[in-house]
Amino acid sequence: MMARAETQQRELMRSIEGLPASGHLNSLDQDLLMIKATSMATMNCLNDCFHMLNQQHAAFQRHILPPGEYCAQRSLLSHHALSLVDLELFGTRELEDINPEDELEDECEVIEDDLGAVEEQRSIILHLLSQLKLGMDLTRVVLPTFILEKRSLLEMYADFLSHPDLFLSVSTGHTPEERMVRFVEYYLTSFHEGRKGALAKKPYNPIIGETFHCSWHVPKESVRCPKPPDSPPNGQEEEEAEADAEEPYTVRFVAEQVSHHPPVSGFYAECPERRMCVNTHVWTKSKFMGMSIGVTMIGEGVLHLLDHEEEYTFSLPCAFARSILTVPWVELGGKVNVNCAKSGFSAAITFHTKPFYGGKLHRVTGEVKHNPSNSVVCRIQGEWNSVLEFTHSSGETRCIDLTKLPVTRKWVRPVEKQGLFESRRLWAHVTEALKEKNIEMATEHKRALEERQRAEERLRVETDTSWETKYFNKEVKSAKSS
């Protein structure tokens, strides 16, 4: 029966594709493209169901695992980590001449136009969907240019630090519990500005070797740094603090696309004065899910607080572009964990996806726990793009309204002073064309960049040349002995 259905579906596809490209009934007719896409999706669903039934039947008849064996989760990045340990690493791209004094306060605040209803591009989307299968990896699929944001993915990661005052406040907590709660506060407030709201647009896929540099200047008075309860007032210390407050803290950021297949980005931020830094590697893996596109963020980040000798490891949620045929929108979903092995504190956070019927959008819940005593010290609830409420075990409650939270602008060197492979200069022509709403020109410039990347990759394969990064290196973790 499945074979007969597949044959009929293939005949339907051939009949539609065999129609003329123009005329009253043509191969690009929206209704026919809709039939083509839905028939393909239906067959994919049926095949998946049939495959699962076969697996269940086979599992019922035999033991899946031999006695004494078990299934363990595996990650392609489980034995690797990327760390910024040497800024003089040789790379295929030349190191940029970075002069922080050239940086200017960023005035490039790009307001993304809402995609709205995608009527004008419906035929393009339907044609694309008709070629996709459920669960298909979209890493190598070229998506339409009109859905692009006017910034690179590397710059999007930088925008996660748009509240650097909260980031720096983590190190000022007087107890391990306070520092963990402050890190969770910063973590949950980072996504709203990083995602630029809930617009269903996609940043540029970085070219291998692409980099992005910026910094933030944070007034010291904006960083929460209360004195310990047993600290007596001291006039001289207060005068020194006032003098120091004139010079802001500086947070510096660098990101690099370290791999093309799979697409892995590394980014690092530090504030030497606060003796803290964060180092993260992310592999963005996207897949087709029918009327949605899901993006899994594989990898982890580590926040180092050197004065406290603490390391906070954390993961990232998945992102979903919903309703891609009507009015596209974005939501986050999945469970993430934050752990500090030294202090024994951890946080479990859940980004809830909206149920099909009812339910709230962008809901997030979580709790901070002291693992040795198995006690919950703080509970979190709210929306990651609206209001977050932190309720401590003492009964104290703190609310953060993200819509009123001030955003600190980053400082970036002008495009003309950037290296050839720094994000804004690399994508300048694409960005300019998108601003002018010239989709054809943007597509042409984007295609030229991607073709150059493919040509370089072919040359490396032919000459057996491995890619060498500039700012990050791959750290191989030794396997644990059993």
Predicted TM-score (pTM) above 0.85: no
Which of 115-129, 227-241, 385-399 tops mean pLDDT?
385-399
CA distance 44 to 134: 6
From CA 261, how far away is CA 450, in angstroms rounded? 13
pLDDT of residue 11: 79
Confidence of residue 52 (pLDDT cuts 50, 70, 90): low
Residue 255 CA to its chain's centroid (Å): 13
Mean pLDDT, rounded, for 284-307:
88
**Bridge partners, residue 346, by sequence:** 339, 369
Using only the alpha carbons of the chain, give its radius of gyration: 25
Of 150 and 238, the one with more pLDDT: 150
Q: Would you place residue 275 in the very low, low, confident or very high pLDDT band (cuts 50, 70, 90)?
A: very high
pLDDT value at residue 323: 74
**80-107+138-224+246-462: CATH class:** mainly beta
pLDDT at 55 over 90: no
pLDDT at 400: 96
- How many percent of the chain have pLDDT more than 90? 49
Q: Which tokens in the block code for residue 464?
A: 């057996």
Round to whole Å and give the CA distance between 393 and 350.
Answer: 20
Give percent above pLDDT 70 in the chain. Answer: 71
Name residue 240's amino acid.
E
- The per-residue pLDDT for 122 is 56
Tell whether the model's pLDDT for residue 197 goes beyond 90.
Answer: no
Digit-coded pLDDT (tens) for 440-462: 899 999 999 999 998 999 999 99
pLDDT digit string, tens, across residues 350-379 = 999 988 777 788 999 999 999 999 999 999
- Least confident piece of the model among 247-256, 283-292, 419-428, 432-441: 283-292
Closest to 192 (Cα-Cα) out of 156, 228, 167: 156
Write a three-state SS string for the chain: CHHHHHHHHHHHHHHHHCCCCCCCCCCCCHHHHHHHHHHHHHHHHHHHHHHHHHHHHHHHHCCCCCCCCCCCCCCCCCCEEEECCCCCCCCCCCCCCCCHHHCEECCCCCCCCCCCCCCCCHHHHHHHHCCCCCCCECCCCCCCHHHEEEEEHHHHHHHCCCCHHHHHHHHHCCCHHHHHHHHHHHHHHHHHHHCCCCECCEEECCCCCCEEEEEEEECHHHCCCCCCCCCCCCHHHHHHHHHHCCCCEEEEEEEEEEECCCCEEEEEEEEHHHCEEEEEEEEEEEEECCCCEEEEEEEEEEEEECCCCEEEEECCCEEEEECCCCCCEEEEEEEEEEEECCCCEEEEEEEECCCCCCCCCCEEEEEEEECCCCEEEEEEEEECCCEEEEEECCCCEEEEEHHHCCCCCCEECCHHHCCCCEHHHHCHHHHHHHHCCCHHHHHHHHHHHHHHHHHHHHHHHHCCCCCCCCCCEEEECCCCCC
When pLDDT is cut at 50, 70 and 90, the band that residue 155 belongs to is: very high
pLDDT value, residue 82: 34
- The highest-confidence range among 223-227, 353-357, 406-410, by mean pLDDT, is 406-410
Write phi, then psi, for 148 (nearest 5 degrees). -80, 140
The answer to which of 63-77, 188-202, 467-481 has the lowest mean pLDDT is 63-77
pLDDT top residue among 432 and 60: 432
Range 390-409 average pLDDT: 94
Q: What is the pLDDT of residue 70?
A: 23
Q: Residue 62's pLDDT is what?
A: 32
User: In this model, does residue 425 exceed pLDDT 50?
Assistant: yes
The tens digit of pLDDT for each residue in 80-96 reads 333 333 323 333 566 76
Cα torsion 159, 165, 170, 173 to 10°: value is: -170
- pLDDT band of residue 63 (cuts 50, 70, 90) is very low
User: What confidence category does residue 396 fall into, taking pLDDT thresholds of 50, 70 and 90?
Assistant: very high
C-alpha–C-alpha distance, residues 125 and 120, integer Å = 10
Amino acid identity at 218: V
Instruction: Judge contact between 321 and 200, C-beta under 8 A.
Output: yes
Counting other chains too, the contacts that 110-114 makes at CB distance below 8 Å and 24 or more residues apart are 110/149, 110/150, 110/151, 112/149, 112/150, 112/196, 112/197, 112/199, 112/201, 114/199
Does 316 have pLDDT greater than 90?
yes
Amino acid identity for residue 335 in this structure = K
Q: Which residue has the tokens 């799979």?
A: 262
pLDDT band (50, 70, 90) for residue 146: low
Q: Which residues of 387-421 are buried (b: 16+ CB within 10 A; e: fewer)?
A: ebebbbeeeeeeebebeeeeebebbbbeeebbbeb
Distance CA 433, CA 440 (A): 8
Looking at residue 234, its pLDDT comes to: 53
Q: Give residue for tokens 């644990």.
A: 480
Backbone angles phi, psi at 232, to 5 degrees: -75, 155
Judge whether residue 240 has pLDDT over 60: no
Query: How far apart are alpha carbons 293 and 135 in whole angstroms?
Result: 9
Where residue 144 falls among pLDDT bands split at 50, 70, 90?
Answer: low
* Residue type present at position 141: V
Task: Provide mean pLDDT across the span 168-172.
Answer: 97
Of 249, 260, 84, 265, give the one whose Cα is nearest residue 158.
265
Confidence of residue 383 (pLDDT cuts 50, 70, 90): very high
Amino acid identity of 420? Answer: L
Distances from the Cα of 422 to the Cαs of 51, 203, 250, 414, in angstroms? 46, 15, 21, 11
